[in-house]
Structure 1
């Protein structure tokens, strides 16, 4: 029976009948789980019904690969239970020992460093927790047991680390060489050869161009075996479709190289990259583009977007445009919206680069290019690519989480992508710099983004927590009455640089190092005008004098203030700053304003 209805992916079966689950996922991929010959069928029927229900959109089992893993864990558990129990178990018969003893059994059978025991138990607990949410009759002690996943360690294996820079450079160089060859073959050599060909039934089969013409006419389905009865084995081998078809249709090797490069340049999750569609590029603008992707693990918010560089053939956006061009002919034949489509040697057109194929291609890729790590053959684990990208960003930004977090919470970013061996030296240096950073932050102004301004306008009571000013003073503050040249000021007559009740005595650009200062969007033109001024002064002053006078302000503008505002806000402010009219901002109470 079908576990999900493609027309209504929210529905799932309430009974299974025979223990065979046929799942049609919303993206037209299918999977089959067959438990008809497995033991403990009363228990498996309940587990299978819950697995089938979990294949609806947003319910947690979003791909055939995930379904297969969870089904395997449940099947192994049922087989083990059948060897230890004399009766068929129901859900209401389950006890904590049924999980804990099975985990002990798994740990005895697997190496100490293996993650498999934990993964199998985690799959089973995941299904049982769904049953528990539906009052399925689980005993009280079993419900308490489900509050934790495992009684043992996840696995005392080395944490998944980022690849070092010398390995990344090898991967990039090899993948770019593959992509360059694919582009030339599919956009120049192939079309040129096809233009020379004609119908081999009249022009003859002893020509590569004519056989390529037939491959194109048959939409890629011609194989050497299908030609042998017509033209004989000798001619079919000399002009083999297996050799000629890649002139028109990309191979799994081409697609793998493109996907590898995109993962290295974008940092997107591998499972999300594999499921990209042909219309994933959105809102191209000024060298950037949004990539729309499906992240099935993010229940309720599966569809996401990231902003990436665009235009250059080596940028993430440019790589996706190359993929669109190279797969255009395959997509036309299959009618599938999937991006990573290719032709197998047997004449089968594939719409996705499945995990097993990707793993196999990784091994072949390493062997073909003789990639190594410290003299040993490289083990290319595709799940390490995202950590590799994240580690590079983390290092480039000095470990600043605001730039590092993308696509997940700060807690996940810290635990899974920052806490890895290759970043240990950076963390140790961060500890050494912590006191200086704390002092710098204490002296830094508050940057109030347009979104935060809008939030304050709607919720004035947040002013004390966000800005340290009473709610009743917020309207005056947001109106600009407290503006100085480079910032707004919480209290011009209570400066940390002067006596209380006296006007602030320091230079205007000391605001950039003052805790009283608040930077808003309306101050950007003045800040950019000041930035132009101090850049001009750099050429007129000795480097040491310039650094002492302007260095800190220059750094704060570029690193603290401008990154908080959108590209549009900065561009508009720059245009104003470059106008011919000078900018002048003084407190209204010094100008006689009220």
Structure 2
């Protein structure tokens, strides 16, 4: 037996071989579990291995009995029962039970195979087939989960505002409770029908269902009005709330419950960019230290076996300063140190009255029987205390339910803070990963988010725009009058051409198939002074291109081709390949719109077609 104590709770991990028909097999596997746990000092008492043994032993009893075999004959060092076949059947049963998206089949099979392999290494008599199976991987690999996306910025702000409102409401309720406590006396002297006395008795742990039934009238309507007002409204046709509900509400006047703590949890996760939900839940009082500069928090990352101390400075923001702009003298109310002070203040009476384990998040709940109040370490695991239930219970400033995308997973808050940091820094991946992640971990778990993709797209668009602004210019359109006098020095100079280039162009020697080119050996697409290799497909984006009116039919055919490709390609790919060319063609057509009908007629009458090199035609058509 191993005991695991975590967050104020003690879990006992045991394997009782006598509970199974395959007693010998269960005993052998239990021995290996004990050895594995002790020698490797596994955290949590090796619960994954013990769970696998119990699951396999239970399945073996059922499987062999249904097959007409005696489960008692099953053991690791005998051939009477083919355990390899039982293993395969067990893995298939796990897969069917948990589903293809669950990690449990993989984890349990891997754990059990490790125990068998450990036994086979030092113990003779293990069948060779079972040895080989123990060294092989699990039948079903570890599923790759769909990465969680972060909350949008609007959702982040909505959650933040709702959490702030919830914290204010909790503090107001606790303030009222402390005022009543100060006015109350011992109800055995002052009477049980005064609300301040009931609050006093609650603080002294004198309130439970039996005490309230004894000292209050049987009918709720006979209770004092201020006590009745404390009860929640009845739901539907159910009987109205009674002494149990009253005991709970009396406790909530003095002590926060897990639902109240959820708001502090949300705000701290949004403010502590380098903290995971697990690290936050595991914080104890000794891990938190207030300094002159802010708050020092010692965090333990169990999976990485790493301990680090983070300093959260005093930001100094007032509650109304939503965007962190402005000046404020002293500690802030909503920065991490301010939130931590408020959380400790809200839970101080819990620590004084119930003396729970020294964790940061402690709450009070009502016992299932008896109705007495109990202090404990918050787990945020009950149906009414989960993150999703808290979101569904919140309202915005207009009283409407919050519009938050699913899934309601608290880990998305962690990713949201990482994205906010990425937007603020705008640096390299190593900068965004911070000091609590490797670069590859950041890429795999945080770099896939919607905001990261949008930022990457914007960066690419800015880069493309910069390149096109430097390299791509609208081709020069030369009308018929200028074309006739192109070989005149004044006209050629006005158009930025040498006289020899102008003469060659007028003679058709520099026609690239779609436009003319000032210098095919000075292409902006290459630097080796060789003949341009991207004409005519990229001529519309080239500073060397010159268009004569006689080439308008070919430009119209190119335009038609681009529009056909719009229906054949996904919009992002079409925009990447043809977007700039489409824009350049539109600018040219705008300058000679009156010529386009005649150019269309020439295409029909003369049977003009667009000639593209075979390589480019294949590239753009696929």
Is the pair's TM-score, using the shorter chain for normalization, greater than 0.5? Answer: yes
**1:139-193 Cα deviation digits (max 9, x unpaired):** 776676667754445446532222222222222111111111112222x322211
Pick one of 338, 347, 351 that aligns with 1:331: 351
* 2:202 counterpart SS class: helix
Q: Relative to structure 2, which stretch is displaced further, 269-278 or 137-146?
A: 137-146
**1:457-513 Cα deviation digits (max 9, x unpaired):** xxxxxxxxxxxxxxxxxxxxxxxxxxxxxxxxxxxxxxxxxxxxxxxxxxxxxxxxx
State whether residues 388 and 409 of structure 2, in contact with CA within 8 Å, keep that contact through their aligned partners in structure 1.
no
| Partner of residue 263, structure 2 | 257
Alpha-carbon distance between aligned partners in 2 of 1:281 and 1:124, rounded to the nearest angstrom: 40
1:82 aligns with 2:61: yes
* 1:349 counterpart SS class: strand
Alpha-carbon distance between aligned partners in 2 of 1:260 and 1:285, rounded to the nearest angstrom: 25
| Partner of residue 182, structure 1 | 170
Residues 168 and 145 of structure 1: CA distance in aligned 2, closer, same or farther (over 3 Å) = farther
1:115 aligns with 2:101: yes
Alpha-carbon distance between aligned partners in 2 of 1:435 and 1:136, rounded to the nearest angstrom: 64
- Structure 1's unaligned 5+ residue stretches are 4-22, 438-594
Give the CA deviation at 1:121.
Answer: 2.1
| Partner of residue 409, structure 1 | 438
What aligned pairs does 1:32-181 form with structure 2 within 5 A after superposition?
Answer: 32-33=12-13, 35-36=15-16, 37-48=19-30, 59-62=41-44, 67=47, 71-85=50-64, 86=69, 87-88=71-72, 89-91=74-76, 99-111=87-99, 114-116=100-102, 118-126=103-111, 128-129=113-114, 132=117, 135=121, 137=123, 150-152=138-140, 154-155=142-143, 158-181=146-169
What aligned pairs does 1:317-396 form with structure 2 within 5 A after superposition?
Answer: 317-332=337-352, 333-345=354-366, 346-357=371-382, 360-369=385-394, 378-396=406-424
Give the CA deviation at 1:290.
Answer: 2.4
Residues 248 and 405 of structure 1: CA distance in aligned 2, closer, same or farther (over 3 Å) = same
| Partner of residue 532, structure 1 | none
| Partner of residue 295, structure 1 | 301
- Structure 2's unaligned 5+ residue stretches are 231-245, 315-330, 467-622
Alpha-carbon distance between aligned partners in 1 of 2:308 and 2:435, rounded to the nearest angstrom: 11
State whether residues 178 and 254 of structure 2, in contact with CA within 8 Å, keep that contact through their aligned partners in structure 1.
yes
* 1:306 counterpart SS class: strand
Residues 379 and 159 of structure 1: CA distance in aligned 2, closer, same or farther (over 3 Å) = closer
Alpha-carbon distance between aligned partners in 2 of 1:164 and 1:322, rounded to the nearest angstrom: 27
Alpha-carbon distance between aligned partners in 2 of 1:276 and 1:41, rounded to the nearest angstrom: 42
Alpha-carbon distance between aligned partners in 1 of 2:177 and 2:402, rounded to the nearest angstrom: 39
Backbone CA RMSD of aligned residues: 3.9
Pick one of 455, 467, 473 that aligns with 1:426: 455
Highest Rg: 1 or 2? 2
Give the CA deviation at 1:200.
Answer: 1.4
Q: Relative to structure 2, which stretch is displaced further, 87-96 or 329-338?
A: 87-96
1:192 aligns with 2:171: no
* 1:351 counterpart SS class: strand
Pick one of 2, 6, 9 that aligns with 1:29: 9
Give the CA deviation at 1:110.
Answer: 4.9
Alpha-carbon distance between aligned partners in 2 of 1:244 and 1:146, rounded to the nearest angstrom: 58
* 1:161 counterpart SS class: coil
1:274 aligns with 2:281: yes
Pick one of 318, 333, 349 that aligns with 1:313: 333
| Greater relative CO (CA pairs within 8 A, separation 6+) | 2
State whether residues 330 and 343 of structure 1, in contact with CA within 8 Å, keep that contact through their aligned partners in structure 2.
yes
Alpha-carbon distance between aligned partners in 1 of 2:39 and 2:395, rounded to the nearest angstrom: 42
Aligned residues: 405
Residues 411 and 96 of structure 1: CA distance in aligned 2, closer, same or farther (over 3 Å) = farther
Give the CA deviation at 1:73.
Answer: 4.4
Alpha-carbon distance between aligned partners in 2 of 1:215 and 1:75, rounded to the nearest angstrom: 44
Give the CA deviation at 1:347.
Answer: 3.2
Give the CA deviation at 1:427.
Answer: 3.8
* 1:307 counterpart SS class: strand
Alpha-carbon distance between aligned partners in 1 of 2:214 and 2:261, rounded to the nearest angstrom: 32
Residues 109 and 282 of structure 1: CA distance in aligned 2, closer, same or farther (over 3 Å) = same
Pick one of 219, 227, 247 that aligns with 2:253: 247
Give the CA deviation at 1:25.
Answer: 2.5
| Partner of residue 476, structure 2 | none
Alpha-carbon distance between aligned partners in 2 of 1:105 and 1:265, rounded to the nearest angstrom: 44
Alpha-carbon distance between aligned partners in 2 of 1:420 and 1:57, rounded to the nearest angstrom: 41
Give the CA deviation at 1:351.
Answer: 2.4
Alpha-carbon distance between aligned partners in 1 of 2:83 and 2:167, rounded to the nearest angstrom: 55
Alpha-carbon distance between aligned partners in 1 of 2:402 and 2:191, rounded to the nearest angstrom: 53
Alpha-carbon distance between aligned partners in 2 of 1:58 and 1:277, rounded to the nearest angstrom: 26
